[in-house]
Structure 1
Amino acid sequence: MQSRTGFKLLAATAATLAAFAVTPAAAEQVVKLGFAAPLTGPQSHYGEDMKNGLTLALEEANAQKIQLDGKTAKFELISRDDQADPRTAVQVAQQIVDEGVQGVLGHFNSGTTIPASSVYHDAGLPQIAMATSPEYTEQGFNTTFRMMTSDTQQGAAAGEFIVKDLGGKNIALIDDRTAYGQGLTDQVAKAVEAHGGTIVAREYTTDKANDFTAILTNIKAKNPDVVFFGGLDAQSGPMRRQMVTLGIEAPLVSGEMTRSETFLKLAGDAAEGTYASLAGVPLQQMAAGTKFEEAYKARFNTNPGVYAPYAYDGAWNMVMAMKEAGSSKPEAYLPKLASLQRSGATSESIAYDEKGDLKEISVTIYQVKGGKWEMVKTMVSQAN
């Protein structure tokens, strides 16, 4: 039979072990960050690319055991599928708020981001979105920030390239009526006219269409030097094939959503010669692009898409703002996010202006050559 002393020692030892067992959990704080994007449907490849970039950043942040509010932060991504639909996006935004998140990394599309942003603003949640439409940061909200250059900046560069570099005098425009497509095309139109070009036609379609014969026939009659399309690769791919079939010799120029492997597959041989503008610089020219690419491939066993490095930096921007504030509380780290200055994967000079737009403007023009996207020209400057 054990003595009372033996029982006391065993009890004390058990209590000590139990205390050690609960210490790590007690010192850990889960920091939830919301994320929404199209994760199903024809735009799901955009959403998955963005999600992977965010995931990589938060896994790296967790490995650093960052101290927030006196505890070790464990970042978790609360993901929702907004189906690239504005109404769904608002519903999803409220779900994310109800989850008790401390910030939002998303949405992807301008058309979903803009209506959702008011939900986050009302909840006092900082939001860093991929959306490029200028309206997103022109609402007067102090909670809206970008991951990429805005369409005002990108459209200005694309329009200048069309007139000055391609020698386009008569330009035909097509947009898909989404906030992204229409917004980008509006900016291209302004830049074309500012540099002496003429808009000879403007046609409209939707982000669900795949037959553009009628509008392309109308455009062919105007004999344009260049055709610009604001919209998705799911439309620009078949559109380019139909342009070739109709004998339209003018090159197709589009935005960053066309600069994808999906466009190359959908357009096939007709893709040759197509141009696409992309906010930012090529991955190999980014401040830490090669390092990011290696980490991404090791984690996901695939090449990063266009949006992954910007999502990665967006997540780190929010994490670093929290780290500087020493807190995950939105009211504590929001001022740090607004005044953030850091070197990331995409740029050595990441900083925001008073609206939440990136101060550094970088736009690259690509062209399909030999079935691959190749860089033609890069323009980097600082916003006024």
Structure 2
Amino acid sequence: MKLKKVFALTLAACMSASLIAGCSSGSSSSASGGAKVVKIGVFEPTTGENGGGGFQEVLGMRYANKTHPTVKIGGEEYKVELVEVDNKSDKTEAVNAAQKLVSEKVSVVLGSYGSGVSIAAGQIFADAKIPAIGASCTNPQVTQGNDFYFRVCFLDPFQGTVMANYANDNGAKAAAIITQLGDDYSSGLGSFFKTAFTGLGGTIVSEEQFQTNQTDFKAILTNIKAQNPDIIFAPSSITTAPLIIKQARELGITATIAAGDTWENSTIIENAGNSAEGVVLSTFFDEAEPANEEAASFISGFKAYLKDNKQDEIIPAVSALGYDAYLCALKAIETAGSAEGAAIRDALKDVSIDGVTGSISFDENGDAKKDMAFIKTIEGGKFKFLTTTTVK
């Protein structure tokens, strides 16, 4: 059923019911044929700088909706309808997208890829008493001081420390850091790497920043080359990554190039070509190591789903996280026995599931209790699992 039709029917039902009891702030409603509907918002970028990664996250959510299309509330079965908005990888557009989801009366929101847009929309969801479940937004500020925001991924302090540990364990003594000015994910992760790396006795020999939409990094990379680092840590978007990688290799830089979870995207390999060989990154999931039966089922089913949708059959970690965020939302709705946001928020605090990316429950901040990351490299034009690591 088309979204506009559902919304029109919901609005008509509310206007009619308001003569007697007023319209509920929840999103449960009766669709044509008597089916009951609960709406889940998908707050993701499908265009802009992070559009590629955001779309991968959306695919995981869509697949979860395909395999788990209903939810029981108080013993009655409701159809789950996804209401998707594009926050366009932009903080201002994120506010508009969030307000659209509020107006659509969704019960819970999933997303977003990109910490900056998640932070920008956080207060809007909190004011509307609609809980949000982030999939891969790793900056601590996403949930900080917002008891309506949760997430199923690990955080940047953990991820930055994990990558610093990896660098140290592999003999790196000097590191350079490249971050994007004004980007919460990039600057935050770079800062956490710096703190952890220097704490292990390493030296930061160069810190460089670049502007959004910048395409020429040769001046930055020339400065770095002069300092001869063992490793370059450059957390950035999948749009920027291949440019940095290719230009570094063209300048003859041989240092290991490393980043965080955003770089686990096949478009980086396609665009950087042979220059991507040896790149190292941290991520949340590895399809070669299913954590449980849910993960094993997801891997086989999602590969077929990707093929049907003419997508690369390599499973991105963010797709798995998007799937897990959806499962957490369903569990919270069932536990609450309600489509009301505040009740779902309260239920989320005690939710525990065995998801595709492992067991998921939330701490007092709404952050997932996770203590392990996967380290991968690019070898032979493919992502290759290296090791798992935890914080020392």
Provide TM-score, normalisation by structure 2.
Answer: 0.86
In the TM superposition, residue 233 of structure 1 has moved relative to its aligned partner by 2.2
In terms of mean alpha carbon deviation, does 190-199 or 355-364 score higher? 355-364
Could you list the structure 1 runs, at least 4 aligned residues long, displaced by more than 4 angstroms after superposition: 23-27
Q: CA offsets, 1:228-250, max 9 Å, x none?
A: 10101221212111111111121
Match of 1:351 in 2: 361
Does 2:68 match 1:78? no
In the TM superposition, residue 42 of structure 1 has moved relative to its aligned partner by 4.4
- Pairwise mapping of residues 176-191 of structure 1 onto structure 2 (< 5 A)? 176-177=180-181, 178-191=183-196
In the TM superposition, residue 59 of structure 1 has moved relative to its aligned partner by 2.5
Inter-partner Cα distance in structure 1 for 2:122 and 2:388 = 31
Match of 1:34 in 2: 41
Contact 1:90 1:115 in 2 (8 A): yes
Rate the CA distance shift 1:24–1:111 in 2: closer, same or farther, 3 A.
closer
Match of 1:152 in 2: 157
Does 2:340 match 1:329? yes
AA of the residue aligned to 1:58: N
- Pairwise mapping of residues 240-251 of structure 1 onto structure 2 (< 5 A)? 240-251=245-256
Contact 1:38 1:82 in 2 (8 A): yes
Find the partner of 1:47 among 40, 54, 62: 54
Rate the CA distance shift 1:259–1:299 in 2: closer, same or farther, 3 A.
closer
Find the partner of 1:272 among 259, 266, 277: 277
Q: Secondary structure at the match of 1:107?
A: coil
Inter-partner Cα distance in structure 1 for 2:304 and 2:231 = 41
Match of 2:6 in 1: none
In the TM superposition, residue 381 of structure 1 has moved relative to its aligned partner by 7.3
In the TM superposition, residue 74 of structure 1 has moved relative to its aligned partner by 1.0
Inter-partner Cα distance in structure 2 for 1:334 and 1:366 = 35
Contact 1:28 1:71 in 2 (8 A): no
Contact 1:69 1:328 in 2 (8 A): no
- Pairwise mapping of residues 1-384 of structure 1 onto structure 2 (< 5 A)? 28-62=35-69, 65-69=70-74, 71-129=76-134, 130-138=136-144, 140-165=145-170, 167-177=171-181, 178-278=183-283, 280-287=284-291, 288-301=294-307, 302=311, 303=313, 304-347=315-358, 349-380=359-390
In the TM superposition, residue 25 of structure 1 has moved relative to its aligned partner by 5.2
Inter-partner Cα distance in structure 2 for 1:290 and 1:45 = 25
Q: CA offsets, 1:302-360, max 9 Å, x none?
A: 4232311110010010101111222221222222211111211111x211000011112
Between structure 1 and structure 2, the one with the greater Rg is 1
Unmatched tracts of structure 2, length 5 or more: 1-29
Inter-partner Cα distance in structure 2 for 1:83 and 1:66 = 30
In the TM superposition, residue 70 of structure 1 has moved relative to its aligned partner by 5.3
Inter-partner Cα distance in structure 2 for 1:275 and 1:289 = 24
Question: How many aligned positions are there?
Answer: 354
Q: Secondary structure at the match of 2:68?
A: helix
Contact 1:226 1:252 in 2 (8 A): yes
Inter-partner Cα distance in structure 2 for 1:174 and 1:365 = 20
Q: CA offsets, 1:177-224, max 9 Å, x none?
A: 211111111110011011100111100013412210000011111111
Q: Secondary structure at the match of 1:230?
A: coil
Match of 2:23 in 1: none
AA of the residue aligned to 1:195: L
Inter-partner Cα distance in structure 2 for 1:24 and 1:150 = 39
Inter-partner Cα distance in structure 2 for 1:60 and 1:245 = 46
AA of the residue aligned to 1:229: A
Contact 2:282 2:373 in 1 (8 A): yes
Contact 2:285 2:320 in 1 (8 A): no
Q: RMSD value over aligned CA atoms? A: 1.8
Q: Secondary structure at the match of 1:253?
A: strand
Inter-partner Cα distance in structure 1 for 2:277 and 2:202 = 24
Contact 2:31 2:37 in 1 (8 A): no
AA of the residue aligned to 1:290: A
Inter-partner Cα distance in structure 2 for 1:226 and 1:88 = 35
Inter-partner Cα distance in structure 2 for 1:239 and 1:43 = 16
Contact 1:51 1:311 in 2 (8 A): yes
Provide TM-score, normalisation by structure 1.
Answer: 0.88
Inter-partner Cα distance in structure 2 for 1:132 and 1:214 = 29
Contact 2:126 2:148 in 1 (8 A): yes
Rate the CA distance shift 1:81–1:24 in 2: closer, same or farther, 3 A.
closer
AA of the residue aligned to 2:68: A
Contact 2:50 2:114 in 1 (8 A): no
AA of the residue aligned to 1:314: A
Contact 2:49 2:89 in 1 (8 A): no
AA of the residue aligned to 1:373: F
Unmatched tracts of structure 1, length 5 or more: 1-22
